Amino acid sequence: MEEFFDARLLDEVREKSRPDFSRITAELYPYQQEGIEFALYRKGAIIADEMGLGKTLQAISAAVLKKDLFGFERTLIVCPASLKDQWQREIERFCQEKAVVIQGNAEERAALYRDSDAYFLICNYEATLRDLPLLQALAPDFIILDEAQRIKNYETQTATVIKQIPRKHALVITGTPIENRLVDLYSIVDFLDPKLLSPLWEFSYRHCCFDARQKNKITGYYNLQSLKERMQPILIRREKKDVIRQLPHISHLDIPVDLHPRQADYHASYSNGVARILRKKFMTPFDLQKLLLLLAKMRMVCDSTFLVDPEQETHYSPKLDQLRHILLDQLDLKHTPRKIIIFSEWVRMNHLIGRLLRENNIGYVELNGKVPVPKRSALIREFEDNPDCQVFLSTEAGGTGLNLQVADTVINFELPWNPAKKNQRIGRIDRLGQQSGHLTVINLITRNSIESRIAEGLLLKQDLFEGVLSPGSTLDAVDFSDRGRSQFLEQLEATIDQFGHPELMDTEAPVIQDVEAEISNPLEEPAEELTTEVLNQTAAGPVTEGPTMPPSRPIPAAAPEQLTQVMNQGMAFLSGLMQMATGQTLQAEEGAIQVNPETGEVTMKFKLPGFG
């Protein structure tokens, strides 16, 4: 009876009022307004739009308008932990309501639930297991579940706890309400409307085919059109092809990813090394090389510890886990005929991505700097013509000079320093002859790292980067104190302070010593496949490899000619230091240092200032 009157009330509100979209500080497309209204006048709804169509904006808008129409006082958002801060930013961006992230110890979380005056409270799924009594006391008016696949298994504790939180209305947003089994949908619907598909035995009887010989083994499904009709009152789904005329030409999605603790340790150590260099008044060419390599290492470790571990004993990569989720769940690559380009600057990272693709039977081709130019056209034809080849995996070698209009999505596994390079990547698909009306660019960005600062504005012009940090510079020293630090180095210095461990600033960590070894012995690593135990690679695939960061190795004995050259460079450097300190120079002619190749004797000739 109560449900009947609730439905009547919602119908009356729908007839007498129109949503005030001016409360939303964003331009809403017609299909988004439709989705908002769909959720606004229902106690329970699922927005199952394809990735990139703005499900988050629709959910925020529905919550704000429900506050106006129904007098709601509190909305609870439950999402993966990695998305909490992103939800807060999106709320602050799209409306005037306050949003608070639930975090801290038990007492701090209890205080936030109890005392916060924010309309939006944001917590993660794991927190609901700890805070169920607090959530039951809170009794939010409206619950939004993001990535609701977390409750797809109705037998899990998470699903059980979520369904015990009292609420008046609820909204589920997910691009994949069904991942592998039809029963996934049953659990999600059970949260919204326990009576719509229940009981479970009836749902199974009406839609599942069971193996006659093996108990509970499902061999197929039937009556799916009947199920689709039953779902129509609570589910709305739009794909890009359905709303293509309403969309901007290119959509950009930034996906935040957290560092693994091991990654964070490496990142902080490299950051401390950068900070020590930046504190120097004078920088030698060696310092500049070391600075450049440390910055590269900070970026590499954001992808995987495998890229920087000298012993290649670890492989921690939350980014790779996120990529798997995007490809298999959000883009549903195994069931949709999409074409995707994935860019990573690091050849080893592309090997890891390739391994992921092979493990999931996703066809791909791989391009890097060692693929001869004449052979690249064959890779492109394979990608364009073979429907089973869905991914074009490329280093920066594919960023220019290639036309790949058949693709509709670019995934940047990491952002390049130079924004022009990012635009070049997008330009591979955004050109005349593009076969898709809408393009999607997905950027994986590691939180609390140098990557997040690149995304926020630490963007370099290529000439500035090369001019300041080029390892090929012939200068013996750079005096930043006299002419002022460049804008980049000032930004970099402010950035690095956020990432290092101050207590380790005065110690030389082993990873920094490894970096120095790489500079001292800059030999190119031979082409190799990933054969370490940590990768456990057994599948066959593209084996071409380009230049990679060399591992540390013993420094070989230098030839006399090399030693002579290095020592003469050192003499020139000392002469420059003396000139800056005293205004006078050491009077050393070219070839002031000689090494006898037979005896090993070193002869050094120069005149001190003040002598004739």
Segment 390-415, tens digit of pLDDT? 999 988 765 555 667 788 889 999 98
Backbone angles phi, psi at 198, to 5 degrees: -80, 160
Query: What's the rounded Cα separation, in Å, for the pair 480 and 490?
Result: 11
Q: What share of the chain is helix, strand, coil (3-state, %, to 5)?
A: 45, 15, 40
For CA atoms 93, 95, 98, 102, the dihedral sign is negative
Q: How far is CA 316 from CA 239, 293, 321, 439, in A?
A: 34, 21, 10, 31
Closest among 384, 367, 385 to 376, alpha carbons compared: 367
Distance from C-alpha of 509 to C-alpha of 514, rounded to nearest angstrom = 9
Q: Give the span between the Cα atoms of 358 and 73, in whole angstroms.
A: 49
Q: Which own/partner contact pairs does 579-584 have at CB distance under 8 Å and 24+ positions apart? A: 580/282, 580/477, 580/479, 582/609, 584/609, 584/610
State CA 311 to chain mean position distance.
Answer: 25
Question: Exposure pattern of 113-129 as b/e (b: 16+ CB <10 Å)?
Answer: beebebbbbbbbbebbe
The model carries a pTM of: 0.61
Contact (Cβ atoms closer than 8 angstroms) between residue 523 and residue 550:
yes
The one-character DSSP state at 173 is E
Amino acid at 299: R
Report the 10 Å Cβ neighbour count for 588: 17
Q: Say what the pLDDT of residue 488 is.
A: 62
Give the chain's residues under pLDDT 50.
432-433, 458-485, 504-507, 522-556
3-state secondary structure (DSSP) of residue 439:
strand
Q: CB–CB of 456/431 below 8 Å?
A: no
Sign for the pseudo-dihedral over CA of 328, 331, 335, 338: negative
Domains present along the chain, CATH in parentheses: 2-245 (3.40.50.10810), 251-520 (3.40.50.300), 560-604 (no CATH)
Tell me the C-alpha to C-alpha distance, in Å, between residue 80 and each of 101, 123, 126, 322.
12, 8, 8, 12
Between CA 353 and CA 56 the distance in angstroms is: 28
- Compute, in degrees rounded to 10, the torsion defined by CA atoms 280, 286, 289, 290: -60
Cis omega (within 30 of 0) for bond into 199: yes
Name residues whose C-beta falls within 8 Å of residue 240's C-beta, 6 or more positions apart in sequence.
50, 52, 53, 247, 438
> Under a CB-based contact definition with an 8 Å cutoff, are residues 534 and 350 in contact?
no
What pLDDT does 542 receive?
35
Which residues, including other chains, have CB under 8 Å from residue 573's CB and lie 6 or more apart? Answer: 284, 476, 477
Identify residue 402 by its one-letter amino acid code. L
Q: State the Cα–Cα distance between residues 346 and 564, nearest whole angstrom.
A: 35
Residue linked to tokens 């690559």: 333
Angle of helix 261-278 relative to helix 487-499, nearest 10 degrees, comes to: 140
The residue ranges of DSSP E strands in 291-360, in sequence order, are 340-343
* Interior angle at CA 128, CA 123 and CA 133, nearest 5: 120
- Nearest to residue 31, comparing CAs of 178, 236, 219, 253? 236
Contacts of 371 (CB under 8 A, 6+ apart): 379, 397, 544
370 phi, psi to nearest 5 deg: -90, -5
Q: State residue 420's pLDDT score.
A: 65
Residues near 375 by Cβ (< 8 Å), separated by ≥ 6?
none
The tokens for 127 are 């927190």
Question: How far, in Å, CA of 188 to CA of 591, rounded?
Answer: 79
Nearest Cα to Cα of residue 13 among 72, 54, 55: 72
| Confidence at residue 324, expressed as pLDDT on a 0 to 100 scale | 94
CA distance to 13, 42, 92, 138, per residue, from 64 (Å):
16, 14, 12, 19
User: H or E element: which one contains 352?
Assistant: helix 347-359
**How many Å apart are CA 206 and CA 564, to the nearest integer?**
85
CA distances to 296, 356, 560, 563, 567 from 557, in Å = 28, 41, 9, 9, 15
Distance CA 485, CA 200 (A): 68
d(CA 38, CA 232): 11
What is the reported pLDDT for 469?
A: 42
